[in-house]
Structure 1
Amino acid sequence: MMRRDTGRRPGQSARERQQALASADPVMTVLARQLGINTAEQAWDAGARGEQHVGRLLNPLRADGWFVMHDLKVSRGGTNVDHLAIGPSGVFVIDTKNVQGSVWVGGPNIKVNGFSKDYVEKLEAQALLVRQALLEETDWDSLWVQGLLVFVKPDLHVKEQPENIVVLDDSELLPVLVNGNRRLSTAQVERLARAAQAIWR
């Protein structure tokens, strides 16, 4: 029987960064929040809250046979995967974004409040790292891994989906996961879960 709780909490790395910044300059942290000044500390706080929210959505899937991990370090360079979900409909690398304002998606181009973001390229790279690691651990020849870019309660406008990942809001996440076509047997989910635990425990 695979272990369902891997010990890492959703948003753990982001929360640690936020707390380190707040502790380094507590007076400035309080003043910035009171004056409405955007800071790196606030950005990490928003990121942590977003990952915690998505983690709360994902964790109940474990009762239905899904395997879920959070806050994975998938490269020596420190590449972080917010969430990994493995279930009957496949392997999903989930990147959470908790941003304020308008989000526009036109294929590979994503803009937040008019500013271009490299979210697509980064998530594609994360999905590839996860796929390569799982293939090596399982010794399988092929594996489908889908990147999901999840925005938390956004003003989201998707004109065209990117080619290799799917952009959605948090309300769409669970339906995409549980209503997808079956790609993996129970035995395959178990094998991939053991592999993920061996790699990222």
Structure 2
Amino acid sequence: MTAYNPAHLTVLDHPLIQHKLTLLRRADTSTASFRTLVRELSLLMCYEATRHLPLETVEITTPLETMLSKQLAGPALCFISILRAGNGLLDGMLDLAPFAAVGHIGLYRDPETLEAVEYYLKLPARISDRLCIVVDPMLATGHSAAVALTRLKEEGAKNILFACLLSTPHGIEHLKKTHPDVSVITCATDPGLDDHGYIRPGLGDAGNRLFKTR
């Protein structure tokens, strides 16, 4: 199975992930199906992203005897959703890890400059002790992701992983330049961007497709 390496890019090539991503890309996929697919993909991504969470040994009692067994050593995990589209990925990850702390950062992209502007930030306690998995469906120019990561570091985050459905070489290079210590997990890397900063061929605007907006 695929595992990420610190400060590296990992493209998840599991057959189920690639199949569901193809369905997600289709223009005729309904809103309901799109939401379900994003949730399913985020659950599969979470499985890979949490592969290196720390464990501790505890004593438990089974129906038959006492034994030593492994459990997560907390506070281990935090999901940070880049609003609003990140919430689509957040749901599936919480299905797999309902114990995780959750934070939100609100960013919008200036239509003229394509630069990210922050409008909201709410983070859980002890963020410096947690693996922070930042989720956003698209890593396009990389500007929004870089701003989000900078703010998280300013608030004390030290161990950060960025997870997205789609990425571009431009976005990956921008993150590598601005945050070389942050690993990226993605389901695919598409060739490039159009004049409006959208990933091509991509899957359209993830937020609009998730929330049925324009």
Do they fold alike, i.e. is TM over 0.5? no
Larger relative strand fraction: 2
- TM-score after normalising by structure 1: 0.30
- TM-score after normalising by structure 2: 0.29
Larger relative helix fraction: 1
